[in-house]
């Protein structure tokens, strides 16, 4: 529920660029709302362009609480735009103050939506608004929405839908189910049951064509947007890929389903650790694991897995990857450091208040988490080049700064072993002290529940300890 608020936007030079005394604010997000640093949504009385972005009434303030650089979302948004995705999210960072209290670094952007300043394909939501007061919620086994006395014709505008989990589906007003998956309707979020049925029938048709591996399955999807969204998921190794925050849209008078925009990269770039730190894996490997181990809860969408097996589709995907290698390499060599320079002071202030948000980040020093992002993405580029037989433009890229660090391993009896390692060293497990595997899980970062990983280089003095068995 919205609360009334007033807003002032002040530029880095100290100039007030926007003032609104009749705005509204509310909390937003799913998992991110559980963090101490809360995300918010702003609602303005009229469309306005903030921080030089296109005008909108609704704005999201993304907390980025679960990732240490505060960049992953913006990097993914910007890369998706640079490689030619039709619909990409504009964003910029702000320092947020409420009632004189500093709340931290936030990413200001518009949430995925349909409208003249976002995806201009006809807003059924605004067409429905004049009739919504008398609409009645309705739900059956496979669909839910509203019953109207009057509403726009189903074909009159565009649809933005989100692949979601069962639990999230239960909290949304409008949506539908396919054979294995749940989709919520982001726009129109006041959909009539006729509109729900229309988009449900269309998506089920696409689902059936892909799942049955029809020879003409590629005619049901917009290949350009699908391969580009897949490349962003693959490059950033997004842990939410195929599961949630996975958007699609349909244009009126167009019988293809489009992928996008990309959204929600808090757990990407190796941030989740474990198998997600392994930069030598494909996002498709992750998909297979989820399908086998966690199907009931996460019900991942397997369209990308099936489409990837098509030779023509895969050849096109590799071409798009190859054509856009300059974008990916510039991301690592220039953009990340340019962004860090822009937000360094803000990032340090955020660290001072929130530290590392539920253990976000593999390092204590802020810039070392930025270095890790560059390392991880460089390794992803190298991996994808090997996978697809493309020359790696990052082959000679070296992130080491020439310094050295102390790696300390604390034994169960309190003794420790310390070694000096060069900056950026990756430690193989068989080079570490042995231990009783029946009594201990393995080496963990001191005071953390994160297991030590070869895939995470040493960028600062690091202490490890053995975790007793039974502490999973």
Identify the pLDDT of residue 166: 86
Identify the pLDDT of residue 90: 96
Q: Does residue 309 sit in the same domain as residue 414?
A: no
On whether residue 192 sits in a domain, the answer given is yes
Using alpha carbons, select from 28, 55, 30 the residue that is nearest to residue 169.
30
Q: Does residue 312 sit in the same domain as residue 430?
A: no
The C-alpha torsion from 245 through 38 and 450 to 269, rounded to 10°, is: 40
Q: Which of 303, 322, 341 represents a domain boundary (last residue)?
A: 322
Identify the pLDDT of residue 466: 92
pTM for the whole structure:
0.94
Identify the pLDDT of residue 38: 92
Identify the pLDDT of residue 294: 53
CATH number at residue 416: 2.60.40.4270
* CA–CA distances in Å: residue 472 to residues 129, 201, 410, 441, 467: 51, 44, 19, 8, 9
State which residues form the domain around 412.
404-468
Identify the pLDDT of residue 28: 85
- Is residue 222 within 8 Å of 256, Cβ to Cβ? yes
Q: Does residue 131 sit in the same domain as residue 240?
A: yes
Q: What is the pLDDT along the chain (472 residues), one digit of tens a residue?
A: 899 999 999 999 999 999 999 999 999 866 666 678 999 999 999 999 999 999 999 999 999 988 999 999 999 999 999 999 999 999 999 999 999 999 999 999 998 999 877 899 999 999 999 999 999 999 999 999 999 999 999 999 999 999 998 888 988 999 999 998 999 999 999 999 999 999 999 999 999 999 998 889 999 999 999 999 999 999 999 988 998 899 999 999 999 999 999 999 998 999 988 888 999 999 998 776 665 655 555 578 989 999 999 999 999 999 999 999 999 999 999 999 999 999 999 999 998 888 765 567 899 899 999 999 999 999 999 999 999 999 999 998 989 999 999 999 998 888 899 999 999 999 988 888 888 889 999 999 998 888 999 999 999 999 999 999 875 5
On whether residue 204 sits in a domain, the answer given is yes
Using alpha carbons, select from 116, 120, 106, 194 the residue that is nearest to residue 155.
194
Q: Which of 322, 344, 376 represents a domain boundary (last residue)?
A: 322
Using alpha carbons, select from 230, 263, 261, 265 the residue that is nearest to residue 114.
261
- Check the CA dihedral 70-267-368-411 and report its sign: positive
Using alpha carbons, select from 122, 98, 126, 116 the residue that is nearest to residue 54.
116
Q: Which of 302, 322, 342 represents a domain boundary (last residue)?
A: 322
Identify the pLDDT of residue 31: 63
Number of Cβ within 10 Å of residue 395's Cβ equals 10
Non-local (6+) Cβ contacts of 468 within 8 A are: 439, 440, 441
Q: Does residue 140 sit in the same domain as residue 231?
A: yes
On whether residue 239 sits in a domain, the answer given is yes
The first and second tokens of residue 248, run together, are 């699609």
The first and second tokens of residue 84, run together, are 């030619």
On whether residue 391 sits in a domain, the answer given is no
Which residues is 182 bridged to in the sheet? 164, 177
Pairing of strands 404-410, 462-468: parallel
- Is residue 233 within 8 Å of 283, Cβ to Cβ? yes
What is the domain count for the chain?
2
User: Helix (H, G, I), strand (E, B), or coil: what is residue 322?
Assistant: helix
């Amino acid at each position: 529920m919205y609360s009334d608020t007033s807003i002032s936007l002040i530029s880095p030079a100290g100039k007030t660029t926007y003032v609104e005394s009749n705005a509204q604010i509310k909390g937003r997000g799913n998992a991110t709302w559980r963090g101490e640093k809360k995300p918010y949504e702003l609602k303005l009385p009229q469309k306005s362009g903030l921080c030089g972005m296109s005008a909108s009434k609704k704005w999201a303030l993304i907390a980025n609480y679960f990732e240490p650089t505060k960049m992953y979302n913006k990097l993914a948004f910007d890369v998706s735009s640079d490689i030619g995705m039709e619909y990409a999210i504009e964003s910029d960072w702000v320092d947020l103050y409420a009632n004189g209290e500093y709340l931290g670094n936030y990413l200001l952007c518009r949430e995925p939506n349909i409208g003249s300043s976002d995806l201009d394909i006809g807003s059924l939501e605004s067409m429905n608004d004049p009739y919504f007061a008398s609409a009645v919620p309705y739900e059956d086994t496979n669909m839910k929405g509203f019953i109207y006395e009057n509403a726009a014709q189903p074909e009159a505008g565009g649809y933005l839908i989100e692949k979601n989990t069962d639990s999230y589906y239960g909290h949304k007003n409008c949506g539908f189910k396919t054979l294995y998956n749940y989709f919520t309707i982001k726009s129109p979020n006041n959909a009539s049951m006729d509109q729900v049925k229309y988009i449900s029938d269309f998506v089920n048709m696409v689902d059936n064509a892909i799942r049955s591996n029809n020879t003409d399955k590629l005619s049901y999807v917009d290949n350009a947007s699908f391969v580009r969204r897949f490349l962003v998921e693959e490059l950033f190794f997004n842990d939410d890929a195929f599961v949630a925050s996975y958007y699609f849209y349909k244009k009126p008078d167009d019988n293809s389903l489009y992928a996008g925009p990309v959204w929600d990269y808090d757990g990407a770039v190796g941030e989740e650790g474990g198998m997600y730190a392994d930069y030598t894996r494909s996002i498709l490997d992750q998909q297979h694991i989820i399908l086998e181990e966690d199907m009931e809860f996460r019900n991942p969408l397997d369209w990308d897995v099936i489409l990837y097996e098509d030779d023509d589709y895969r050849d096109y995907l590799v071409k798009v990857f190859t054509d856009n290698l300059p974008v990916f390499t510039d991301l690592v060599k220039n953009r990340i450091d340019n962004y860090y320079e822009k937000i360094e002071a803000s990032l340090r202030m955020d660290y001072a208040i929130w530290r590392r948000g539920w253990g976000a980040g593999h390092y204590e020093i802020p810039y070392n988490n930025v270095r890790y992002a560059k390392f991880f993405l460089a390794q992803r580029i190298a991996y994808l080049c090997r996978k697809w037989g493309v020359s790696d433009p990052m082959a000679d890229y070296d992130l080491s700064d020439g310094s050295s660090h102390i790696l300390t391993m604390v034994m169960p009896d309190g003794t420790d072993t310390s070694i000096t390692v060069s900056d950026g060293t990756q430690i193989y497990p068989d080079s570490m002290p042995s231990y009783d595997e029946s009594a201990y899980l393995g080496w963990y970062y001191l005071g953390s529940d994160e297991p030590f990983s070869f895939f995470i280089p040493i960028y600062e003095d690091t202490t490890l300890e053995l975790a007793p068995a039974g502490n999973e």
